[in-house]
Structure 1
Amino acid sequence: MHLFSGFQARDWLLANDPALSRLRMALRVTLTIVFSFLVLLAIHMLILSLPTAAFGLGIVLSIEGGVAVRDKGNSRQLVTRLFGCVASLAVVGIAAGLEDRRFLSDLVFLVVIALASAGRVFGPRGFAIGMFAFTSYFMGAYFRPPLAELPEVAIGPVVAVLVGHLVRAVLLPDDWRRDLLRSLESVRGRINQILFKLAAIAGGAEIGEADRQELRQLEDRLKEVVLMAETFIPRPPAGVFDGAADPAAELAIRLFDAHLAAESAIVLSFQSPPPFALVHAVIEADTAEVARFEGMADAIRDQPQGETLRALLWLGEARQQLTQAIGEGQASGFSEIDAIKDTAQSQAIDFSFANPLLRSALQITIASAIAMSFGLLLSRERWFWAVLASFLVFTNTNSRGDTAMRALSRSLGTVFGIAIGLVLATLISGEPDIAIPVAAVCIFLAFYFLQVSYATMTFFISIVLCLVYGMTGVLTLDLLKLRIGETMIGAAAGTAVAFIVFPTRTRGALDSALARWFQALRDLLGALSEGKSGFELMALSQKIDACYRDVTVAARPLGSSWSVVTRPGQIRQTLAIFLSCTYWARILAKNYQAPAADTLKGLIAADLALIDDAAPRGSSCFLIKRKASRTTGRHLPLSREGARLGLEMIGSALERLYPQADVLPFATGEAIARSKQG
């Protein structure tokens, strides 16, 4: 029973944390902080007395080393860490040297912010070194160590860098074979979630809207982990496999089929809910029961229920193939798959303001200057918090809407985190044996949820700060109010600059994402006309999938609750159209046969014409109010006509982006008529 529960817990964890990447990052950060603190404490107690700044820098750079260092390979990571350590020591020295000239020190801080932000144009290493420099100047200006203490202060960054590398390279190393196996297990876990949901709704006359929404969410989560798993499968430099004999190619096909089969099961279940007995048989891999339903599916193959049966049978087979691949991976560690060396060519660096990274650097610098000015009016000693907030709200954002959402998340996380942290710090005041473990747990949870919710991360970090203030005896209500005020100043400054200086409208970012999606679909249709091979078509359809994910990210601020541009319902309706088109593109890539190209040229040309018509309109399709779509005819194509139906359904989906008056040419019959005319 305990063993079964353990497997259940692991399956749940993998289903919610693909490849355990979030767990590993949270553990890396937490262990690096703990070990660095213990090493510094041992040095402090046994060798020489260390200033507070050494501990502060050690802890902060432990965080940056776990989050900001993103190079591939241990040697590259070590070089980045060492460069970051040098940058850290340099800026701390500058901050200490300018301590008596506070106005000049503040101006230099802005220069450091500008250089750190602009360093992102150099790629992952530039980003990491910039973060090391920014946070180190922040800590240097905050703790104000005397020049005479710099040798002792330098021990903090050095220990953090060395401990961080040991944790990353030895204790919790990167391993693409392990990550591939875990991501495949996560794919299976999310397929199981879909099957469990189908079992819950099986046998009903129809599926309710709430169930449809949940299945769509499960479909999105499956897509997310499939895209992750695909990145772990080594591919040739051109990105296209030469043949199915390649073990990596065989694995890619199994993953592709499992993804497509799961989506087909969802699509067909919307039309006709599946029988519970079949879903149960697929879950339990009951071959006798599955064989009985195979005969039933053949007898009613042209009926909606028959389509659903075939979709579930396909999913059952694809799931078994995926399970077999997982078993082989567990036994051999994918030793038969050769790793592909990183052959990426370095690209020319664009130092013009046409580069969005440089525009962002200017935004960050101006926002930091504004935050610094208003923060100083509120407090001469604690204004750094405002600058920190204004700097961080621009991280991983691509539009002013994204920045506003991140600023709001940081403000809310800080307010609620301080409220809870104040209660905790008061309850365990004077109990460091309790406060320290609680702080460690909160640090772990903060970075475990970093990739999921920025507000949650800020919430737990705020609790940690309250506990630290409580243990050091400086916790007061006025201090916490000041923390909230400075954070809101920084968040407001970042949001204002995002809307005024080089503003990137949410719709502008969405237009760019849509342009990439349309181009990817155009490339796939063009490859069909040229008679490309199956693997090339599969790779192109996967590119459409990745572009769809970018579209959903770019559209998120447009449909958020604070937006007055449109209702979230319209956003979901439009995204559903792009999702449908993406799905049918994969159906098309799977079933297309080059010899049939001549008979399908009319359909390909018609779909390309629809792309040429829709692509220039960009994100305006998200502002159209649509009627509820009518039920379509058969969804799942037979193998002999899968390519034709895929092209028809892609055309139907594209037509739905801009419906003419009250007519929604969505039904399959209308699409077929259109194709015959073409």
Structure 2
Amino acid sequence: MPRSAFLERLHGWLAGTDPGLVRLRMASRVTLTLVFVGLSLTLLNLVQPLPVISFAIGLILALQNAIAIKDRSAVGRAQTRVLCAAAGLGVLVPIALVGQRSGLLDGFFLVVTFAAVYARKWGLRWNAAGMFAFMACFVGIYFHAAVSDLPTIALALLLCGGVAHLVREILLPDRPAFDFAQTLRAVEERIGTLVSRIRAGKRAGWPEEARRAAIAAEGQVRSAIAIAEGLLPDDASVAERQTPAAVLAIKLFDLHLATETTLAAALDTEADAASYESRLAGTLDRLAKARLQLRRSADGLDEHQLEGPGLALPTAAQTPVPWHRQPSFRLALQVTLACALAMAGGLWVSEQRWFWAVLTAFLVFVNTQSRGDALLRSVDRAIGTGVGIVVGILVATLLHGSFALPLGLIVLCVFLAFYFVQVSYGALTFFVTVALSLVYGLLGSFSPDLLVLRLKETLVGALAGMLVSFFVFPTRTENISRRGVDSFLAELDRLLETILENRRGNASSWKVLAVTRALDRRHTEIVTIVRPLESGWISAPRRKLVRLGLLRLAALAYWAHRLASTADMPRSADAQGPDAEEFDRSIARCRADIATLRSGVGHFFRHSTTPALTPTDWVSASRDLDAPDAALALHALRHILHQATADAAGGSTRSAIAP
């Protein structure tokens, strides 16, 4: 195979598996930042010997500089880096002044832990500052920071921030037009996979495995389209002027709808053969046209046309709650208690390596929403560490006495750890453990006993995190899933209201699209919330109930998309006639069903019959199921909503969600 063809296929594979090359860019930024900071500190050490703590602070906070700072603008990121450096130095000064008084240091560490987690309530900037403060405190206590070390520590903080900014803004900056083009390539790759699976499933008669594969492929298309939408500016005033970005947003929505419609037609095998073939051929043709229109709209796109604020979740009014009942306070208390337990258990296992237990307990609660999330994260970390230790012992033993090869493997492990971090937390832990094994080998302190001790400390920290998440202010998956469904239904209600305003000429099609995108984000949130309940340690009947609930939500999202697609259709001259009145009544009935569900009647994760994606009664019998049809979409929405309320009134009350 010619080299150019191989590179083209490799690039296509990367684009298909990593939309927008987001994971590749993040892993490259992390790796380059750590390499450059390590080289810079080594060169400085040749001029002026640096204490070990300066190396540790520089490298660990270089990692935080690369992954924790998420402001959208370069100026905002620079400001956050300064704030984070100040936060790190601010906790290191008291540690240096206190000295070796361990009781005071332990108490100070727990106070910093609480403040670092509580700071998340004020947004991404303060979340980053909290992470810097925690990691700096962690390193300062372990390496016994002294007052004489503070100047070189400050230098290391400035160096890692400057290098990270250089890598982020100059070497590997965001390129919106390029990123969007790469994401569209991923969309194309995934649609091609979906079409292939549809044709294969059709030839095989749609066995269950083929259905699951096609549905999974459509989910991959949906996630890639969501990434593409996130790269577009979300400015309604600009959109109203029909800028290229606004046109692309509409074309992406059309493609999303065409993809869903094609899958629905492919899986609707109850129709007679002739109707099935005709409908599927028509939807595939519409999908091809939607792909072509999107490609044409994206041709010639430049960076300036994608400038503007990114997507932002709509803000909703929240009922004030006492400070001690706020989720931010409870989470901060949970993490602090988990770290205290891990500290006690870690010191019992080893007085020198207790920090592994504390770090595990802290990280168990990062990006988790429920105790199920915390449990899965703990298990992933324990398994990743265990497997990483086995591989690390083998690799470090084989490469004992070498220097260049272990160093190269360390860099490779760091890259792979952060390339796969969004796919698997266990993979991150595995590669980091292998890298640490190689680091210990280079430092001459490697031993299997040391890695086994790391596993023990990791298990102590994971156990502390699980115990606290289950018994101290436990966030039950049932409660958080109910809140997620309520938010989804609130957005669906807002979409119905906006559709009504659009028919009356009081809302633009862009506003309808914006609300639809918000609905999709809520749908994605629910999928994330219930993910722990789809894991292998959940019984098969309960996993089935979760899938039924998700299918019902997916059906609602699908018909909401179908309804939104009618927003830009020309209104007829008799818009106030009987048809308009019936349409208004249908909207009102749907909103009444939504209000009933939001009041606590019904549950989307109850045992019930599988909801049909396409209505089969007399209303839909004489209609084109794939043409824009607001009345049909409303009928389907009401059918699904009514089924959810009816299940609660006379059906089973068994829930898929753990109590």
So what's the TM-score if we normalise by structure 1? 0.87
CA contact 1:368–1:387 (8 Å) conserved in 2: yes
Q: Judging changes above 3 Å, is the alpha-carbon distance between structure 1 residues 663 and 394 closer, same or farther for their aligned structure 2 residues? A: closer
Residue identity in the other structure for 2:14: L
Match of 1:613 in 2: 596
Q: Distance in 1 between matches of 2:276 and 2:541?
A: 35
Q: Distance in 2 between matches of 1:169 and 1:641?
A: 45
Is 1:208–2:207 an aligned residue pair?
A: yes
Is 1:320–2:292 an aligned residue pair?
A: yes
Q: Distance in 2 between matches of 1:533 and 1:350?
A: 36
Q: What is the CA distance between 1:565 and its match in structure 2? A: 10
CA contact 2:603–2:648 (8 Å) conserved in 1: no
Q: Distance in 1 between matches of 2:592 and 2:9?
A: 50
Percent identity over the alignment is 33
Is 1:643–2:630 an aligned residue pair?
A: yes
CA contact 1:375–1:489 (8 Å) conserved in 2: yes
Is 1:407–2:378 an aligned residue pair?
A: yes
Q: Aligned match of 1:463 in 434, 453, 476? A: 434
Deviations 1:505-548 (A, max 9, x none): 11111111100111111111222333343222222222221111
Is 1:558–2:533 an aligned residue pair?
A: yes
CA contact 2:552–2:604 (8 Å) conserved in 1: no
Match of 2:231 in 1: 232
Question: Which deviates more from structure 2 when the two are superposed, residues 7-16 or residues 405-414?
Answer: 7-16
Match of 2:407 in 1: 436
Give the 3-state SS of the residue equivalent to 2:239 in structure 1: coil
Q: Distance in 2 between matches of 1:481 and 1:641?
A: 62
Give the 3-state SS of the residue equivalent to 1:303 in structure 2: helix
Deviations 1:371-395 (A, max 9, x none): 1111111111111111111111111
CA contact 2:230–2:311 (8 Å) conserved in 1: no
Q: Aligned match of 1:265 in 262, 266, 278? A: 262
Q: Distance in 2 between matches of 1:220 and 1:83?
A: 39
Match of 1:303 in 2: 275
Match of 1:357 in 2: 328
Match of 1:577 in 2: 552
In the TM superposition, what are the counterparts of 1:334-349 in structure 2 within 5 Å? 335-336=304-305, 339-340=308-309
Match of 2:182 in 1: 182
Deviations 1:40-90 (A, max 9, x none): 111112x11112211111111111011111112112111211221222223
CA contact 1:58–1:159 (8 Å) conserved in 2: yes
Match of 2:91 in 1: 91
Q: Distance in 2 between matches of 1:182 and 1:543?
A: 24
Match of 2:454 in 1: 483
Q: What is the CA distance between 1:561 and its match in structure 2? A: 2.8
Residue identity in the other structure for 1:643: A
In the TM superposition, what are the counterparts of 1:26-37 in structure 2 within 5 Å? 26-37=27-38
In the TM superposition, what are the counterparts of 1:136-285 in structure 2 within 5 Å? 136-204=136-204, 206-236=205-235, 241-242=239-240, 245-272=242-269
Q: Distance in 1 between matches of 2:303 and 2:44?
A: 44
Is 1:547–2:530 an aligned residue pair?
A: no
Q: Distance in 2 between matches of 1:270 and 1:344?
A: 33
Q: Judging changes above 3 Å, is the alpha-carbon distance between structure 1 residues 24 and 353 closer, same or farther for their aligned structure 2 residues? A: farther
Q: Judging changes above 3 Å, is the alpha-carbon distance between structure 1 residues 418 and 341 closer, same or farther for their aligned structure 2 residues? A: closer
Q: What is the CA distance between 1:564 and its match in structure 2? A: 5.7
Root-mean-square deviation (CA, aligned residues, Å) is 3.0
Deviations 1:131-156 (A, max 9, x none): 11111111111122433233233332
CA contact 1:415–1:484 (8 Å) conserved in 2: yes
Question: Which deviates more from structure 2 when the two are superposed, residues 479-488 or residues 354-363?
Answer: 354-363
CA contact 1:185–1:326 (8 Å) conserved in 2: no
Residue identity in the other structure for 2:552: I
Q: Aligned match of 1:597 in 563, 575, 580? A: 580
Q: Distance in 1 between matches of 2:152 and 2:306?
A: 49
Unaligned runs of 5+ in 1: 275-299, 665-678
Q: Distance in 2 between matches of 1:50 and 1:334?
A: 43
CA contact 1:591–1:639 (8 Å) conserved in 2: no
Match of 2:15 in 1: 14
CA contact 2:116–2:127 (8 Å) conserved in 1: yes
Residue identity in the other structure for 2:196: F
Q: What is the CA distance between 1:646 and its match in structure 2? A: 1.0
Unaligned runs of 5+ in 2: 652-659
Q: Judging changes above 3 Å, is the alpha-carbon distance between structure 1 residues 351 and 471 closer, same or farther for their aligned structure 2 residues? A: farther
Q: Distance in 1 between matches of 2:115 and 2:357?
A: 19
Residue identity in the other structure for 1:324: R
CA contact 2:235–2:308 (8 Å) conserved in 1: no
Q: Distance in 2 between matches of 1:342 and 1:638?
A: 32
Residue identity in the other structure for 2:604: C
Q: How many residues align?
A: 632
Deviations 1:473-508 (A, max 9, x none): 222222222211111111111111112222211111
Residue identity in the other structure for 2:534: G
Q: Distance in 2 between matches of 1:454 and 1:388?
A: 15
Q: Distance in 2 between matches of 1:445 and 1:175?
A: 23
Question: Which deviates more from structure 2 when the two are superposed, residues 654-663 or residues 609-618?
Answer: 654-663
Q: What is the CA distance between 1:428 and its match in structure 2? A: 0.6
Residue identity in the other structure for 2:488: W
Q: Distance in 2 between matches of 1:268 and 1:344?
A: 32
Give the 3-state SS of the residue equivalent to 1:561 in structure 2: coil
Q: What is the CA distance between 1:562 and its match in structure 2? A: 2.7
Q: What is the CA distance between 1:579 and its match in structure 2? A: 0.5
Match of 1:668 in 2: none
Q: Judging changes above 3 Å, is the alpha-carbon distance between structure 1 residues 623 and 247 closer, same or farther for their aligned structure 2 residues? A: same
Q: Distance in 1 between matches of 2:32 and 2:565?
A: 45
Residue identity in the other structure for 1:541: T
Q: Distance in 2 between matches of 1:536 and 1:166?
A: 39
Residue identity in the other structure for 2:36: F
Deviations 1:598-627 (A, max 9, x none): 232232233223323333347843131536
Q: Distance in 1 between matches of 2:150 and 2:4?
A: 54
CA contact 1:273–1:308 (8 Å) conserved in 2: no
CA contact 2:87–2:132 (8 Å) conserved in 1: yes
Q: What is the CA distance between 1:13 and its match in structure 2? A: 1.2
Residue identity in the other structure for 1:52: V
Q: Distance in 1 between matches of 2:634 and 2:311?
A: 36
CA contact 1:390–1:491 (8 Å) conserved in 2: yes
Give the 3-state SS of the residue equivalent to 1:353 in structure 2: helix
Q: Distance in 2 between matches of 1:489 and 1:607?
A: 51
CA contact 1:514–1:618 (8 Å) conserved in 2: no
Q: Distance in 2 between matches of 1:414 and 1:382?
A: 15
Q: Judging changes above 3 Å, is the alpha-carbon distance between structure 1 residues 273 and 316 closer, same or farther for their aligned structure 2 residues? A: farther
